[in-house]
Amino acid sequence: MNLKPKKKLGQNFLIDNNVIQKIIKCAEISYQNEIFEIGAGTGNLTKAIIEKNPKQIFLIEKDKKLYEILKNKFDNKIQIFNEDILKFSKNNLFSSNTIIFGNLPYNISSQILTKFIFNFENFKFKMLIFMFQKELAERIIAKVNSSNYGRLSILSTWKFNINKVFDISPNSFFPKPKVKSTLLIFTPKKISSKFNNPKSLEKITKIFFNQRRKKIKKQFNYIFSDNPEVKNKLNIDLNLRPQNLSPETYFNLAGEMERLAD
C-alpha cells in the first residue's frame, strides 16, 4: 500500500515516543474519560492513549487509507469516523469528561480551533490538547499590546483558559515540518457574555484588525456612525491601534454593536 504522506492533508506524523508520552501525561487520562483524537494518522498517539484505558476512544480521520489502517490496527478498542472534523457534528458523543487531542493538520488548525470556540455550547468537553505551528500558537496566546495579539487571541481567550505546555522540534515528526510546533491546552471558562451572538465578536474584531497598523478611529466610526455615546461609555481612545484594546473592550464593543442594531 502506498503510504506517502499527503501534504494537502497536513500529514506530519509524530514519531518521537518521549514527546508522545509527554503529551499524554498532560491529560491525566482515567477510566472516566472519553477521548477524541482529531486526525489520528498512523495511530502513534492513539496507541499511547489506549494504554491509559479510558472509557471510550473516538477517532476522526479524513484520509480513507489511514482510516482503514487504524480500523484494522486498533479494531474493537476504538470507534472511528472517516470524516472531516470541520463537518463533524455528532456532539452527543461528547461529555464534560471528554478530552480532545489533536496533532492538528496545520493548514486548517485555526479553523478547527474556531469550530470549538463557536460551537462551544454544542460540544461539551473537559479540555482540548492541540498542537499548532509555533507561530500560530504564539498568536493564540498573545496578550494585548503585543505584536502577535489579534482576532485569534481575543476569540480564544473569550472561551478558554489557555496554557502553553512546550515546544516540539521538527525532528519529532515524519516528514519533518519546516517550523517548530507548540502544544497548547484549552480549558473552558465560565463566561458571562456582554453580547448574545458570537458573530458580533467575530465581526468587530475582523473590522478592527483589517487595519492592524492604523488608529481605530476610522473603523470605530464606520461601525458606530460617529456616535460619541459608545466611545464615552466604554472610555475608548480613538487614537489607539487595534492591538491596544483589551479582550474585555472587544467584548463590550460587540455588545454595543448589538444594542445599536436592535
Binding site for ligand SAH (CB under 6 A): 9-14, 38-42, 44-45, 60-63, 66, 84-86, 103, 105, 108
Residue 199 CB, shortest distance to ligand SAH, in Å, is: 23
Give the residue with the Cβ less far from ligand SAH, 132 or 209.
Answer: 132
Please spell the DSSP secondary structure of 213-256, one letter per residue. Answer: TS-THHHHHHHHTT-HHHHHHHT--TTS-GGGS-HHHHHHHHHH
Residue 241 CB, shortest distance to ligand SAH, in Å, is: 35
Give the residue with the Cβ less far from ligand SAH, 30 or 107.
Answer: 107
| Residue that is written with C-alpha cell 473569550 in the block | 158
Give the residue with the Cβ less far from ligand SAH, 34 or 61.
Answer: 61
Residue 69 CB, shortest distance to ligand SAH, in Å, is: 10
Spatial distance between the Cα atoms of 127 and 78, rounded to a whole number of angstroms = 20
- Does residue 114 sit in helix, strand or coil? helix
Residue nearest to ligand SAH (CB): 39
Give the residue with the Cβ less far from ligand SAH, 6 or 214.
Answer: 6
Residue 5 CB, shortest distance to ligand SAH, in Å, is: 8
Give the residue with the Cβ less far from ligand SAH, 86 or 179.
Answer: 86
* DSSP single-letter state for residue 171: G
Spatial distance between the Cα atoms of 51 and 180, rounded to a whole number of angstroms = 27
Residue 106 CB, shortest distance to ligand SAH, in Å, is: 8
Burial annotation 221-237 (CB, 10 A radius, 16+ → b, else e) = eebbeeeeebbeeeebe
Grid cell in block for residue 139: 498568536
